[in-house]
Amino acid sequence: MKIVLFSALLMPFYWLCLSGETSSITQSQSLSYGKTLVSPSGIFELGFFNLGNPNKIYLGIWYKNIPLQNMVWVANSSIPIKDSSPILKLDSSGNLVLTHNNTIVWSTSSPERVWNPVAELLDSGNLVIRDENGAKEDAYLWQSFDYPSNTMLPGMKIGWDLKRNLSTCLVAWKSDDDPTQGDLSLGITLHPYPEVYMMNGTKKYHRLGPWNGLRFSGMPLMKPNNPIYHYEFVSNQEEVYYRWSLKQTGSISKVVLNQATLERRLYVWSGKSWILYSTMPQDNCDHYGFCGANTYCTTSVLPMCQCLNGFKPKSPEEWNSMDWSEGCVQKHPLSCRDKLSDGFVPVDGLKVPDTKDTFVDETIDLKQCRTKCLNNCSCMAYTNSNISGAGSGCVMWFGDLFDIKLYPVPENGQSLYIRLPASELESIRHKRNSKIIIVTSVAATLVVTLAIYFVCRRKFADKSKTKENIESHIDDMDVPLFDLLTIITATNNFSLNNKIGQGGFGPVYKGELVDRRQIAVKRLSTSSGQGINEFTTEVKLIAKLQHRNLVKLLGCCFQEQEKLLIYEYMVNGSLDTFIFDQVKGKLLDWPRRFHVIFGIARGLLYLHQDSRLRIIHRDLKASNVLLDENLNPKISDFGTARAFGGDQTEGNTKRVVGTYGYMAPEYAVAGLFSIKSDVFSFGILLLEIVCGIKNKALCDGNQTNSLVGYAWTLWKEKNALQLIDSSIKDSCVIPEVLRCIHVSLLCLQQYPGDRPTMTSVIQMLGSEMELVEPKELGFFQSRTLDEGKLSFNLDLMTSNDELTITSLNGR
C-alpha cells in the first residue's frame, strides 16, 4: 500500500517535469499524446499529430513556429494510430519504441547498447539517440536523418553509408494528407561514377548527372560561389553522399519531393510564406531518356531531339513523326581492329550521359584518358571526372549514350569526347575546312570592304555631317564595331526566316557569328521614327550599363544606310509571349513570375539609382523585357531612354515617345517624365504579370474598362483574388500575389509624388512591412493639342496599348 501511494504521489511531479519545453527524454521518461519535445532554440518540435483525420495519428517532427506545410519527418507513416493513446519511450536496449495498447507500432534499430541512452531533438531537425555520458556529436546510436521522409533539410546526407550498407533517400508522400510512401524517390545510385536519380517506381524519371567537382552535371544553376547555399559531395571507401547547408544563419530552406507534380522542390521561408526557389525537372529535356540513345536534347532549337555527330535515327519514320524513343545508331561502324583509324570529336555544354556503364580513374589526365578509351573497342566517350580548375581524372562510357542534355550556354555544361570512325571524322574535318575557307574569304572581303569604307569615309567626310557625328559618338564610347558583311552573313541577308520580332523602330533578326555565338540584330528601319539621335542614345546608354537584368550590347554597325545594334540573343524571347499566351503561360508559374518581377525591379532600380548616369527608360513594357535560358528577365530597348547627371530626376519634352498602356498620365498629356513615370510603367507591367491580361479594353456588359480600371474596381470590392491568372492559381502564394497587386496600385497613383521609388518597391515586395492604402485612381482634365483634343482618363487611357506616340506639339 505504501509503494502504491508513493507512486501515486510521484506521477503528478513526473508529468509536471515534461509539461515545460524540453528537447530530450531518457529511459525514465516517455512522451504521450499532447506532449512534445522542442529543439533547444525552438526551431523544431517532435510530437503526435494528425493531418485532418483524428483517427490517423502520427509521430513526427515539424517547424514549431511555421504554420504552413511544416511537417519534415514522420515515423509511422504507413501505420497510423487510431486514438490518442500512443506512447514513445526508450527501452532497455536504448531504442525508441512507439507503442499503442502495448503493441509496438514503430521502433528504431540501434546495433549498440548503452547504459544511459538519451533521445534528443536537435536544432537541425534531427532526432538522435546518444549515450548521455558520451560525446554529443558524431556519436549517434541512431538518427532520423538516416531515415528521412519526403523532406531534405540542411545538413542531411542523401547517399550511402558503405560500412553499414545503409541507403538514405527521400520518398514522396502519396498526398498532402497521406504520408504513406509514394512512388517518387530521390537517392544516389552506386555506379562507378555515382549520381543522383529521381525514380518513379522502378523507372528512372530524372537524373541530376554526376558530381563533376563543381556541381551536378545536370544542375547548371548550382553555382559554387552563390551567396545562399554551400554544397558538398563526398565519395570514398566508407560513404558516398551529398548534402547542402545554408551560408546565412537564421535562414530556413528545405527540399521536398512532391508526388502530385512529380517534382523535387526547393523552398525558402520568407517569414510569411514558403517561396518556391527552384524545381526539377524543369523541362522535357530533364525527363530521363526523353530522346532515346545516342542523342542530345535541347530546348533552344526545334526539334528538341538531335542525333549526335556520326549517328542517324534508328527509325526515321518515327523520328520524323517526333517519336524519338528509338534514338539513334552509328552511321558507320567503328574500326576496332585498326585503333588508329578511330578518333574523337568534342561536344561542349553537355549534361554528360547516364553513368551506369562507366569506368573512372582519378589518377590519370585527359590525354591518358583518351589513349585508354581508344584502346578499348567498347569505349564510346570520355571526359574529365573533375572539371574544377584545369580539370583532372578520367571517366569513360561504354555502349550506348543515354540522357544527354545540351545547354544553350556552353559554360553551363561540360565537354564530352565522343568516339567516331575515320570516315565521320574526315567528314567533320571537311565541313570545318569549308567553314575555314568561307571565314577566310569573308575575312579577306572584310579587309577589302573596310579599306574601301575608310577611303570613302575620308573622301566623303564633309558630305554628311550627320554621319560624321554618329560615328564620332560611337568611337568615343569604345563600342565594338561590326562590319555589315559580317551581320549580313550571320542573318542570312536579313532573311525572313531569321526574323524574330518587330519593334517600334524596326525588325529584329536572329544571327550566328562565325564563332557560333548567337546574336540578336536590331535593324533600324529607314521609315521608322527612330533617327540618329535615338540610335546614338541607345548605343551610348546601354554601352555604359552593366547589370544582370539589362540586356547586353555586343556592338553596333553603321555602314551605308544601315544602323544596326547587336545584342546577346535571348533564347526565350520576350515576356509578353509567355504571360499573354494560355499555353506558354503555364510554363511561367508563380514562383518564376515572382522571380521575373524582382529581376525587372532590380534592373529598373539600377537605371534610376546605381548606374553612372540616372536613366529613365520611358518605354518599359512586357515586349521590352527579354528572358534568357533560365527565364531571368533582362530589360531591353533603350532607344527612347533619357539620361541625367547629378541629382536631376525629371525632365520634359515636346516629343513624347512611348507606348499607350504603359505611359504615365503626366507624360502622355504634358510630356513630363521622371523616374516616377517609369514606376508607373512598372505598375502596369506588374499587374499584367499577375493577371496574364494586356492592359487594354475589357468588356464588362456595356461598360469598357482597362485592366487598371478593372483591377481598381475589384480591389475596392475586396475581390482582388479574381485578378489572378488561371495559369498560376495552383502555384501561387496568395499573400505574395495580393502584395504584388497592392504595390502595383501604389505605382499607378495619379500624381507622381504619391508613387513609391523603385527602392521602396523592392522593399515592399520583399518584406512584410505594412503598406499604405492606394488613393482613388483619378482623372485628368481634357487638354487641347494642336492635333485636337485629348480627354485623358486613367481608366480608359489604355484602350489601344500598342499605339506608339512619337510627338506632342503646342504645349
Give residue limits of the domains in the chain: 18-147, 150-282, 286-420, 460-568, 576-805
Q: Does residue 462 have a pLDDT over 60? A: no
Radius of gyration of the chain (CA): 32
Using pLDDT thresholds of 50, 70 and 90, give the confidence band for residue 785.
very low
Percent of the chain with pLDDT strictly greater than 90: 50
Write out the DSSP string of 713-765. HHHHTT-GGGGS-GGGTTT--HHHHHHHHHHHHHHT-SSGGGSPPHHHHHHHH
Q: Does residue 36 have a pLDDT over 90? A: yes
Using pLDDT thresholds of 50, 70 and 90, give the confidence band for residue 8.
very low
Residue 83 carries which DSSP code?
Answer: S
Using pLDDT thresholds of 50, 70 and 90, give the confidence band for residue 702.
very low
CA distance 783 to 336: 84
- Where do the DSSP E strands lie in 156-252? 158-161, 166-168, 170-175, 178-189, 195-200, 203-210, 229-235, 239-246
Q: Does residue 794 have a pLDDT over 60? A: no
Q: Where are the alpha helices (DSSP H) in 498-589?
A: 532-544, 576-579
CA distance 469 to 465: 6
Report the pLDDT averaged over residues 781-796.
32
Q: Does residue 286 have a pLDDT over 80? A: yes
Poorest-confidence range of 47-56, 384-393, 424-433, 777-786?
777-786
Give me the pLDDT at residue 659, please. 76
Report the pLDDT averaged over residues 780-797.
32
Q: Does residue 6 have a pLDDT over 80? A: no
Q: How many CA within 13 A on the CB side of residue 605?
A: 15
Report the pLDDT averaged over residues 717-724.
92
Output the CA–CA distances (angstroms, integers) from residue 747 to 4, 233, 342, 753, in the order listed: 74, 46, 65, 10
Poorest-confidence range of 81-90, 472-481, 503-512?
472-481
Report the pLDDT averaged over residues 545-568.
85
Write out the DSSP string of 9-77. HHHHHHHHHHHS--SEEETT-EEETT--EE-TTSSEEEEEEESS-TT-EEEEEEETT--SS-EEEESST
Give me the pLDDT at residue 475, please. 52
CA distance 94 to 111: 10
- CB count within 10 Å of CB 233 equals 20
Q: Does residue 633 have a pLDDT over 90? A: yes
Residue 340 carries which DSSP code?
Answer: G
Read off the C-alpha cell for 426.
574526315
Does residue 139 or residue 725 have the better pLDDT? 725
| Of residues 551, 602, 554, 545, the one with CA closest to residue 574 | 551
Read off the C-alpha cell for 738.
495580393
Give catalytic status of residue 619 as yes or no.
Answer: yes
Q: CA angle 342-346-349, nearest 5°?
A: 155
Q: Does residue 234 have a pLDDT over 80? A: yes
Q: Residue 446 in contact with residue 485, Cβ under 8 Å?
A: yes
Give me the pLDDT at residue 644, please. 67
Give me the pLDDT at residue 788, please. 30
Give me the pLDDT at residue 598, please. 93
Using pLDDT thresholds of 50, 70 and 90, give the confidence band for residue 520.
very high
Does residue 192 or residue 223 have the better pLDDT? 192
Q: Residue 268 in contact with residue 283, Cβ under 8 Å?
A: no
Task: State the catalytic residue, choosing from 403, 483, 619, 801.
Answer: 619
CATH number of 18-147: 2.90.10.10
Using pLDDT thresholds of 50, 70 and 90, give the confidence band for residue 457.
low
Q: What is the pLDDT of residues 42-83, one digit of tens each?
A: 999 999 999 999 999 999 999 999 988 899 999 999 999 998
CA distance 62 to 156: 15
Q: What is the pLDDT of residues 287-339, one digit of tens each?
A: 999 999 999 998 777 788 999 999 999 999 889 888 899 999 999 888 776 55
Architecture of domain 576-805: Orthogonal Bundle (1.10)
CA distance 376 to 399: 11
Poorest-confidence range of 198-212, 346-360, 539-553?
539-553
Q: What is the pLDDT of residues 135-194, one digit of tens each?
A: 555 578 999 999 999 999 999 999 999 999 999 999 999 999 999 999 999 999 999 999
Q: Does residue 574 have a pLDDT over 60? A: yes
The phi and psi torsions of 129 (rounded to 5 degrees) equal -115, 130
CA distance 590 to 697: 25
Using pLDDT thresholds of 50, 70 and 90, give the confidence band for residue 357.
very high
Q: Where are the alpha helices (DSSP H) in 563-661?
A: 576-579, 590-605
The phi and psi torsions of 798 (rounded to 5 degrees) equal -110, 30
CA distance 168 to 157: 7
Give me the pLDDT at residue 738, please. 94
> Considering all CA atoms of the chain, what is the largest pairwise distance in Å, rounded to the nearest integer?
122
Read off the C-alpha cell for 217.
552535371
Mapped onto helix, strand or coil, the DSSP state of residue 170 is strand
Helix, strand, coil shares, percent, the chain, to 5 = 25, 30, 45
| Of residues 718, 710, 689, 475, the one with CA closest to residue 599 | 689
Does residue 752 or residue 110 have the better pLDDT? 752
Q: Is 156 exposed, middle or buried, given 0-12, 13-18 or 19+ CB atoms closer than 10 A?
A: buried
Give me the pLDDT at residue 799, please. 31
Report the pLDDT averaged over residues 486-495.
90
> Of 3.40.50.410, 3.40.50.300, 3.30.200.20, 3.20.20.370, which CATH number belongs to 460-568?
3.30.200.20
Instruction: Name the β-bridge partners of 474.
Output: none
Kind and range of the H or E element at 691?
A: helix 675-691
Average pLDDT, the chain: 82
The phi and psi torsions of 128 (rounded to 5 degrees) equal -125, 155
Give me the pLDDT at residue 449, please. 59
Most confident of 216-230, 259-273, 519-533, 675-689: 675-689
The phi and psi torsions of 100 (rounded to 5 degrees) equal -145, 115
Using pLDDT thresholds of 50, 70 and 90, give the confidence band for residue 645.
low
Give me the pLDDT at residue 792, please. 33
CA distance 787 to 803: 16
Read off the C-alpha cell for 768.
512584410
This model's pTM is above 0.85:
no
Q: What is the pLDDT of residues 648-695, one digit of tens each?
A: 455 555 455 667 678 888 877 777 888 999 999 999 999 999 999 988
Poorest-confidence range of 120-124, 159-163, 515-519, 792-796?
792-796
Q: Residue 577 in contact with residue 584, Cβ under 8 Å?
A: yes
Q: Does residue 219 have a pLDDT over 50? A: yes
Percent of the chain with pLDDT strictly greater than 70: 80
Report the pLDDT averaged over residues 11-37.
73
Q: Does residue 461 have a pLDDT over 60? A: no
Poorest-confidence range of 20-24, 501-505, 653-657?
653-657
In which residue are the cell numbers 508563380 written? Answer: 590
